[in-house]
Structures are given as C-alpha cells and as structure tokens.
C-alpha cells in the first residue's frame, strides 16, 4: 500500500479530527491510516456528515406514522399521499458556501437537494427555500441577497423545477452567517422508490455524470463543520461550481434507468462525494465495495486518490447494477451525452478497497466507519443571560399615538414587505402544477391525473427561538402546520434543517436540545413525524452565533384539490371572522422589535390541543366548502394579516373591521398570539361556520366585512384607528424589497 504522505497525529488534527477520533480510526483499522484513508475518516466523521453532536438528541423526534414510507436515514423522506403515490422530500442547508460565494453556494445547494430527491426515484416537482440574511442596512446584505436569489433561480429555472415558495427574513444575527436552506419535493409511484444500497455481491459499481475535478475539496463537509473566522473570503475555492444543464440530463438519465429497472441501487455524490456515497451504500447493504479510482472520469490529469475521494464536484451519481445491465445503463447515459463508467464491484467482505492502477491505496471497513462514528453528548447549560431576555415591562412601552403611521411602517418593513422581487426571479410555473404560487401561506401543487393536492409551508421564527428555544421549536411546527391546514390540506409530516451556532459551547447546545424537545412535543401532538432533515452547526463568525433557527418544512395533502382555500379575500359582502383568541401577548413580536427596538419577553404561548382542533376545523371547512379564504395570523399580528388578505395586484377590495377588546390597542392589532386565522365567508354560510367552530371548540368571532372601498378601516372599541388606502399600501409594500437591495 502506498504511503504517499506519512500520517501522524498532527496530520489528523490538521484534517479536523480530534486525538480521540484519530485513535478510534487507528483501532478500527488496526493500524495507522494512510493519507487517503485519513481524509475519508475526517470527512465522514465531520459534524456535517456524522451528526456526532446531534445524533443523541435527534432520537427524540417522532419518526413513525401511518403515512410514513421512509423515515430519516435515506437520501430523503417518503410519505404516502394516496392513489398509489408518494411524496419524497427533504430540506438541507448550504449556509457557509452561500456566504463565501452566494451565487454558486446557493445554486449548488439547490442542485444537491434536487439530487437527493431524484436519486430516490421521484421526479422533483417543487422547490422551496428558507433564507436568512443580515440587517437590511449591513454592507454585505444586498450583495448576498442578489447572489443567493440569482443562484437559486439560475439552477432551479434551468432544471425546469418550479420554485414555489419559502421565506426570506432579515436579522442582524445573520450579518456574518447567512442561512440558505433548500427544499425539494418530488412525486412518484409507491413502487418506484429507489434506495441507496449496494446489494448483490458481484454487482457492478458505476460512476455516472460529470467528471471529477479538484473543486469542493474540504467543501460542504468541512466548511460546514467549523465556525467562520475572518478568512471566509479565502475559502472561496472550496465552494463547488454548479452546472444545472448537466444535472438536468442526469435527472432524465437516472429516471430512465430506474423506470427501465436497469439498476439495483443509486446514491448521489453530495457532501463528501465519492467517500460517503460508496461507504453509505455498502454500509446500508452490509456489503463491501472495490473501486478502481483510475477509471473515474476526471477534469484534470494527475488527481490523487485523496483528491478523488474528497472532491465535491457536482452532478455525479454512484450506481449499482447487475453485470448484464451495465451496457444498457451506459447506453442510456450516452444517449444523454453523459459519462457512465464501471469503476468497481460489490463484494462480501464489508471492506471499501480503493485501487489506483491496480495498486491498493486504501482499505477500510465500510459499516464501522458510519456505525462507529463518534457520538458526543456535549455538555449543555442554560445561558446566564437567558432569564434577562424574558423581562418585558409593557408599562414602559408607550402605546403609539398614530396607528395609521405604525401600520404603514410595519407593512412596508423589511420583514413584512412583499417578496415579489425575490419570487419573480424564480420560475414558479414550469411543470404546470403550481396552484398556489409564492406569496401564499403554503404552496399548493396539483398532481396531474389525480384528485389530491400537496401543500408545503416552511417556517421558523428565530426571534421566538432565541427568547425561548423550546417554545420556539413548538411554534415553528404549529405555524407551518397551520399554514398547510389553511389551504384545507392535512399536515402529514415534515423535514427540518436545524441551524445553530457552535455546539461545543454549552449555551448553544442548550438552545439545540431545547428546540429539539419543543419540536418533538409539538410534532407528536399534531401527529406529524419527521421523515428527513439535516443539522447545521457552527453558524458563527468570530464569536457571534446566529439566533437558533430550526427551519421546519411541513407537507400536507388535500384530498380534492378543487376544494383548496386561498388566502386572499374574494368577494364584496363576505363576512370576516377571527378563529381563535387574541391574548395579552407582545413578547418577541415583530412590532416590538421594529417600532420599539426591543427583542425581549417570552414568545406567544402554545396550546397544542387547541391548535390541533383549529387545524381539523380548517380542513373540514374546506371539505364542506364553507369558507372563501383563510389566512394565518403570524408576524405583525391581526392588522397585518388582514392587510395581506387585501394585497392583490391591483387592489380590488377593502375591509371594514370592528374590534372590541380590553387589551392594549397595540396588542389587539399587532400581537402575535398563536392559533389564530382570518377567514372570510359568504353571509349565508356564516351559520355553518359558527356551528362547525363550536363543534371543534374553536372561538369564532365576526370582526368585519369585505367591501369594495379598497381601504382597510379598523375600528377599535368604536374608535377608528386605522384607515389606509390599500392601493398606496400596495405600492410601498411591493417596492420595499428592491430598496433593500439598492435597486
């Protein structure tokens, strides 16, 4: 075996392993690893690939349910959506690469998650993205926003997969560490799912897709496993470069070999490239793999085994096929002008053996590399400053004198303004399945030839999570589920991307553990298990970490898509009703931060039973076709939610709202109490709405009427406090985002 570089503890430390991990690697091999083997260990045991800090806690998540076909552990999760079909989906982070090189970082994030879904056999049907940027005024923000949005569009648009929704938020905690979480959902027949297994001794291992280059070495895997220092710019060469055209061909070729049943298993080469794809496929099947690295198509001559195993070049797949199918597989890939090269074979010895020109260059046991990967129960403790955050003395916060001004300031603020500037750079209509386009509470996709629809919503309020991570975790689940239920769809399961700071700091680990507990509780109560996801730690630059941001993407199903409920008001004369109750809560609200500059207090309380009842009510209101619209009340509270029901291009309707409340007026208008939805209903259906609300134990209060004034009038306890021309509001609401990016 070649010893191109002598490995010592020092080499291992430089590769990111600890001394303990290095010793463990030595004991698994029964000798000191050579340089190539060390590289593979370091990559596979990086935080990004091994989940070593989170694994122990992730066990708390509910993962089972009657609709779950495939839970966590595969490339993506799978749920049964009825009619013999499944939805395959996952969300994944690409935070650090996107900060270093926003266009390519975001683009390859989209490319990676698309591969995760189509490697399972499903044609991708929808992309969503959850984005977090620093303060609007920060010098880097416009550059990062423009690059990330263009990158997401550049990749998804070319692939012909619609980007149908997501979120964009600004907060100063992301100034030095933005978040780019990319989600893809695909659909296929329940009998068409493919798994990433290298089964069948003697079967051939085929490398397919783009050539391997030196890009992305120490990329996603290692870049995502350390906090940023000031040298972020120098890391640019570690970001991969995407080629959506190659991926589009790869998608078609992969689906073709799957549909023709030419292959046994398939896995995309994402983070950790050839290393993780080969080891994971062998590990899952309990087999071994031999690979001849000199047969791997490369972009440049002279690549070493180390470089070949660690490259994160994009648009590549590893395929296992029976020997007599190899030529047929190659034919399909050649039809699409893609490489498909036999590089090795499945063996029965459980070893990954790598050869270079017939010389053995690495030999590692496959299963132990993942199964015996280190697991850390890192210490965690509640930060000393946490209690002081809860202090909020409302008596010291002045009630605004002019609510019209406050309302206008809020609706045209960075976090509440229209995201059209972003969404209009995405192709949201390709595929001709997008029923609710970006801007709705949840995206809604039809499935051609079938009656059902799929609703998708991503959500996380990181301010809530910062103030109380456990409650914040619950809130992310219930709000994403409520958004799905507003369309009439039943929330089925979710995927998550847990974005946190450095887990080696006990206070960050505490945030993580608390958020996981909260997510688990809420998910169990709503019967919505997690089926896939990822953890992104080390979201820090220097010493400052991000606010904890556990992004949840909830997926639901509506049986009859023709009964889906939109969020906008539709007709003059319709009655506006509030489902749920406004409580004396203002902590962690957008209003407090934006108007008073305060981020404090406790987030709104969660009542999981009432929340579940509300969702069931919404689903049945849709089924019985009682209501004309439903919109979740979230950031900015009731006044902003009602305005959002009126913001259409052009504005056609107005609303006359009369509230009776003993609460402070700013709480009544802008408080963010949970479990509330604004619905509109025609007068002759009002009784049916009331009856059904009673049946589900949900408060239902008539608060106004839709009219054609194109004005939002809100009267509180007989005093008119907001009167806003919605055509004017539309202008400031829709133009704000362009201002943020300096256009």
Partner 1 sequence: MKCGVVVFPGSNCDRDTVYAVESAGGEAFYLWHKETNLRGADCIILPGGFAYGDYLRTGAIARFSPIMKSVIDFADKGGLVFGICNGFQVLLESGLLPGAMMINKTLKFLGQDIFIRVEETDTPYTHDYYQGSVLRIPVAHFEGNYYADGDTLNLLEKEERVIFRYCERDGKISEKGNLNGSLNNIAGICSENRRVLGMMPHPERASAPILGKSDGFAMWKSLLKYFGEVA
Stretch that binds partner 1, among 90-98, 334-342, 488-496, 697-705 (CB under 8 A): 334-342
426 contacts partner 1 (rule: CB under 8 A) = yes
608 contacts partner 1 (rule: CB under 8 A) = no
Q: Indicate which single residue of 61, 207, 306, 423 sits in contact with partner 1 (rule: CB under 8 A).
A: 423
611 contacts partner 1 (rule: CB under 8 A) = no
Nearest C-alpha neighbor of 109 from the set 223, 213, 264, 262: 223
Rounded to whole angstroms, the Cα distance separating 108 from 483 reads: 28
Contacts 24+ apart (CB under 8 A), 357-362: 357/294, 358/292, 359/1, 359/2, 360/1, 361/1, 361/2, 361/34, 361/36, 361/293, 361/305, 362/1, 362/34, 362/36, 362/37, 362/40, 362/305, 362/309
Do 39 and 310 meet the contact criterion of CB atoms below 8 Å apart? yes
Site string for partner 1, 87-126 (x = CB under 8 A): ----------------------------------------
- Least CB distance to partner 1 at residue 432 (A): 5
Please identify which of the residues 57, 94, 96, 292 carries the catalytic annotation.
94
Rounded to whole angstroms, the Cα distance separating 651 from 238 reads: 47
Stretch that binds partner 1, among 335-343, 513-521, 603-611, 677-685 (CB under 8 A): 335-343
446 contacts partner 1 (rule: CB under 8 A) = yes
Stretch that binds partner 1, among 84-92, 246-254, 358-366, 572-580 (CB under 8 A): 246-254
Residue 393 CB contacts under 8 Å (≥ 6 apart), including other chains: none
Stretch that binds partner 1, among 80-88, 206-214, 419-427, 618-626 (CB under 8 A): 419-427
Catalytic residue status for 94: yes
Number of residues that bind partner 1 (CB under 8 A): 34
Strands laid side by side in the 654-659 sheet? 629-632, 677-681, 575-579, 700-707, 654-659, 711-716, 719-725
647 contacts partner 1 (rule: CB under 8 A) = no
What is the separation, in whole angstroms, between the first and last Cα of the chain? Answer: 59
CA dihedral 154, 159, 163, 164 (to 10 degrees): 160
Stretch that binds partner 1, among 77-85, 154-162, 401-409, 610-618 (CB under 8 A): 154-162
Q: Give the position of tokens 């802008």.
A: 670
- Least CB distance to partner 1 at residue 689 (A): 24
Measured from the CB atom, the residue of 62 and 244 that comes closer to partner 1 is 244
719 contacts partner 1 (rule: CB under 8 A) = no
DSSP secondary structure of 145-195 = HHHHHHHHHHHHHHHT--EEEEEEEE-GGGTTS-EEEEEEEEEEEGGG---
430 contacts partner 1 (rule: CB under 8 A) = yes
202 contacts partner 1 (rule: CB under 8 A) = no
**H or E segment at 476?**
helix 469-486
Measured from the CB atom, the residue of 139 and 448 that comes closer to partner 1 is 448
Residue 286 CB contacts under 8 Å (≥ 6 apart), including other chains: 350, 367
Compute φ and ψ for 166, nearest 5 degrees. 135, -165
The first and second tokens of residue 216, run together, are 């992305």
62 contacts partner 1 (rule: CB under 8 A) = no
47 contacts partner 1 (rule: CB under 8 A) = no
Nearest C-alpha neighbor of 632 from the set 675, 586, 694, 582: 675
Stretch that binds partner 1, among 276-284, 350-358, 422-430, 455-463 (CB under 8 A): 422-430
- Least CB distance to partner 1 at residue 139 (A): 22
Pairing of strands 359-365, 339-347: unpaired
Q: Indicate which single residue of 147, 209, 221, 431 sits in contact with partner 1 (rule: CB under 8 A).
A: 431
Please identify which of the residues 48, 96, 218, 631 carries the catalytic annotation.
48
Residue-level length of the chain? 743
Q: Indicate which single residue of 337, 358, 393, 543 sits in contact with partner 1 (rule: CB under 8 A).
A: 337
- Least CB distance to partner 1 at residue 562 (A): 7
Q: Indicate which single residue of 268, 342, 427, 644 sits in contact with partner 1 (rule: CB under 8 A).
A: 427
Which chain residues interact with partner 1 by CB under 8 A?
Answer: 150, 153-154, 157-160, 243-246, 248-249, 335-337, 420, 423-432, 434-435, 446, 448, 561-562, 650
Catalytic residue numbers?
Answer: 48, 94
């Amino acid at each position: 075996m070649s010893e191109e570089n002598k490995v010592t503890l020092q080499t291992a430390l430089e590769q990111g392993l600890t001394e303990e991990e290095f010793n463990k690697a030595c004991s698994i091999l029964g000798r000191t690893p050579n340089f190539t083997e060390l590289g593979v260990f370091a990559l596979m045991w990086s935080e990004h690939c091994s989940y070593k800090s989170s694994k122990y806690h992730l066990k708390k998540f509910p993962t089972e349910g009657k609709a779950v076909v495939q839970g966590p552990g595969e490339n993506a999760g799978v749920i049964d959506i009825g009619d013999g079909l499944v939805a395959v989906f996952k969300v994944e982070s690409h935070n650090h690469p996107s900060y270093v090189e926003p266009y390519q970082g975001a683009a390859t994030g989209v490319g990676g998650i698309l591969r995760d879904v189509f490697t399972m056999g499903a044609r991708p049907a929808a992309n969503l993205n959850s984005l977090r940027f620093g303060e609007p005024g920060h010098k880097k923000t416009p550059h990062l926003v423009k690059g990330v949005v263009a990158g997401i569009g550049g990749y998804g648009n070319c692939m012909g997969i619609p980007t149908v929704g997501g979120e964009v938020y600004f907060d100063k905690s992301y100034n030095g560490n933005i978040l780019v979480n990319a989600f893809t959902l695909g659909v296929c027949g329940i009998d068409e799912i493919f798994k990433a297994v290298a089964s069948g001794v003697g079967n051939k291992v085929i490398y397919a897709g783009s050539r391997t280059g030196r890009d992305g070495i120490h990329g996603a895997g290692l870049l995502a496993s350390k906090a940023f220092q000031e040298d972020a710019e120098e890391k640019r060469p570690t970001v991969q470069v995407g080629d959506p055209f190659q991926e589009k061909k790869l998608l078609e070729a992969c689906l073709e070999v799957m549909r023709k049943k030419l292959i046994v298993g398939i896995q995309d080469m994402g983070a950790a490239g050839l290393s993780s794809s080969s080891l994971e496929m062998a590990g899952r099947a309990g087999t071994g793999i031999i690979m001849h690295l000199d047969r791997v198509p490369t972009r440049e001559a002279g690549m070493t085994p180390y470089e070949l195993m660690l490259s994160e070049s994009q648009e590549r797949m590893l395929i296992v096929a029976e020997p007599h199918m190899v030529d047929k597989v190659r034919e399909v890939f050649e039809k699409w002008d893609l490489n498909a090269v036999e590089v090795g074979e499945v063996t029965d010895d459980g070893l990954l053996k790598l050869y270079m020109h017939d010389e053995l260059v690495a030999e590692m046991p496959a299963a132990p590399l993942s199964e015996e990967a280190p697991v850390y129960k890192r210490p965690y403790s509640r930060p000393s400053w946490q209690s002081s955050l809860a202090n909020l003395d409302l008596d010291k916060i002045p009630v605004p004198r002019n609510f019209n001004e406050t309302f206008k300031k809020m609706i045209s603020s960075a976090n509440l303004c229209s995201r059209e500037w972003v969404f209009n750079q995405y192709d949201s209509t390709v595929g001709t399945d997008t029923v609710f386009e970006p801007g709705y509470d949840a995206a809604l996709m039809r499935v051609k030839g079938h009656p059902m629809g799929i609703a998708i919503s991503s959500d996380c309020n990181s301010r809530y999570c910062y103030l109380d991570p456990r409650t914040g975790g619950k809130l992310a689940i219930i709000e994403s589920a409520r958004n799905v239920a507003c369309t009439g769809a039943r929330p089925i399961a979710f995927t998550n991307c847990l974005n946190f700071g450095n887990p080696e700091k006990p206070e960050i680990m505490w945030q993580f553990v608390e958020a996981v507990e909260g997510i688990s509780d809420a998910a169990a109560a709503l019967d919505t298990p997690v089926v896939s996801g990822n953890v992104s730690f080390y979201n820090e630059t220097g010493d400052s970490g991000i606010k904890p941001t556990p992004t949840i993407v909830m997926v639901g199903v509506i049986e009859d898509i023709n009964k889906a409920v939109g969020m906008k008001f539709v007709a003059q004369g319709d009655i506006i009703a509030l489902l749920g109750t406004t409580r004396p809560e203002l902590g962690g609200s957008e209003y407090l931060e934006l108007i008073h500059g305060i981020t404090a207090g406790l987030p709104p309380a969660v009542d999981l039973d009432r929340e579940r009842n509300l969702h069931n009510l919404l689903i049945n209101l849709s089924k019985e076709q009682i209501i004309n619209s439903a919109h979740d009340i979230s950031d900015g509270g009731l006044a902003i939610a009602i305005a959002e029901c009126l913001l259409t291009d052009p504005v056609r309707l107005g609303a006359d709202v009369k509230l009776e409340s003993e609460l402070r007026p700013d709480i009544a208008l802008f408080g963010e109490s949970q479990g509330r939805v604004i619905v509109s209903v025609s007068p002759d259906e009002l009784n049916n709405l009331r009856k059904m609300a009673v049946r589900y134990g949900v408060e239902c209060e008539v608060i106004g009427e839709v009219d054609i004034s194109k004005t939002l009038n809100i009267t509180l306890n007989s005093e008119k406090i907001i009167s806003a021309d919605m055509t004017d509001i539309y202008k400031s609401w829709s133009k704000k985002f362009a201002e943020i990016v300096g256009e």
